[in-house]
Amino acid sequence: MQLLDGKKVSEDIKVELAEVVNKMKANGEKVPHLAAVIVGNDGASLTYVGSKVKACERVGFESTLIKLPSTISELELLQKIEELNQNDDIDGFIVQLPLPKQIDEQKVLMAIDPSKDVDGFHPENFGKMALDMTTFIPATPFGILELLERYNVETAGKHTVVIGRSHIVGRPMSILMGRKGFPGNSTVTLTHSHTKNISQITTQADIIITALGVPNYLKAEMVKDDVVVIDVGITRVADDTTEKGYRITGDVDFENVSKKASFITPVPGGVGPMTIAMLLKNTLLAREMRKA
């Protein structure tokens, strides 16, 4: 069994990005600038956004964190987005999800200028992704592709089973694994809450990508020998023995599934850190596209 070490690979990517930034600075060029909008006080969301901003500092990008109250109206948020669209200094920005109930998430995602949509959530970018056109690929799926590529995991002709059809992970992942090229050329099954006899499907899988948010969902009996397992789950589970009072748990029963797997991502330290590294890559792409 080989660990797909997202922590290490994401560090490598950040070193590579820092080198690019140093060259930009040496040439007197503007460095990439990412803005992140967070609405409300959800602890996990604040942590994620904080990590994104910190990662910008690490590689020498500029960053702006915009904290808005949970009571903000949809109109006020849309106005903030329009400001960011118009602000020439900002190369790309994200609006952290989920949003409070009074705000229509689809309206918000549609309001982001596609050329600054470094999350790749705007329908124009999602469509381009599905049609193999150059665009921003959502950071978590992009990070999974990068891990598979850097560890040279064979994907062509393999049966990939994706568990969960979220717009952020499962749905785009199911498209990307079936695209032409590497990593891709996979035969994909997308499973979800209405799927019957899921074990019958997962035991046929060469590659399993779980994005459910149900701790320890994928058990050893559900996989075949030498399976490749990518665990996107990051659920906070109460744990008094830790300093923070919780620990991060994936969707996979790692202890037992890892005994059968050829490659597997740990949680934490697998997909999570890759997501942030790929958001930075998208921000660099946004800067380069604005120059061109």
Beta bridge partners of 3: 264
Please identify, using beta-carbon distances, which residue of 56 and 261 lies nearer to ligand GUN.
56
Q: How far is the CB of 126 from ligand GUN (least distance, A)?
A: 13
290 marked as binding residue: no
d(CA 18, CA 234) in angstroms, rounded, equals: 27
Spell out the residues 6+ positions from residue 122 whose beta carbon is closer than 8 angstroms to its own: 109, 110, 112, 114
How many Cβ atoms are within 10 Å of 151's Cβ, its own excluded? 15
Give the number of residues written for the chain.
292
Cβ neighbours, 10 Å, residue 79: 12
Min dist. Cβ of residue 49 to ligand GUN (A): 8
Residues of the shown chain interacting with ligand GUN in the complex, contacts defined by CB under 6 A:
94-97, 119, 139-140, 168, 275
Dig out the tokens for 258 from the structure: 């890892």
| Residue 186 or 275 having the CB closest to ligand GUN | 275
Smallest distance, ligand GUN to C-beta of residue 168, A = 5
Q: Which residues are catalytic?
A: 52, 96, 119
Q: Which amino acid is at 20?
A: V
> Strand 33-39 relative to strand 235-238: parallel, antiparallel, unpaired?
unpaired
**Smaller CB separation from ligand GUN, 95 or 175:** 95
Question: By C-beta, is 24 or 35 nearer to ligand GUN?
Answer: 35
202: number of CA atoms within 13 Å, CB side? 26
234 is in an annotated binding site: yes
| Among 252, 19, 280, residue whose Cα is nearest residue 142 | 280
CB of 82 to ligand GUN, least distance (A): 18
Of 287, 276, 264, nearest to 88 (Cα)? 287
Instruction: Please say whether the dihedral angle defined by the alpha carbons of residues 93, 94, 100 and 105, taken in this order, is positive or negative.
Output: positive
Residue 131 has what DSSP assignment? T
DSSP string, 22-37: HHHHHTTPPPPEEEEE
CB of 25 to ligand GUN, least distance (A): 28
Our CB check for ligand GUN shows the closer of 139 and 274 to be: 139
Instruction: Specify binding-site residues for NADP(+).
Output: 164-166, 234
Binding site residue list: 164-166, 234
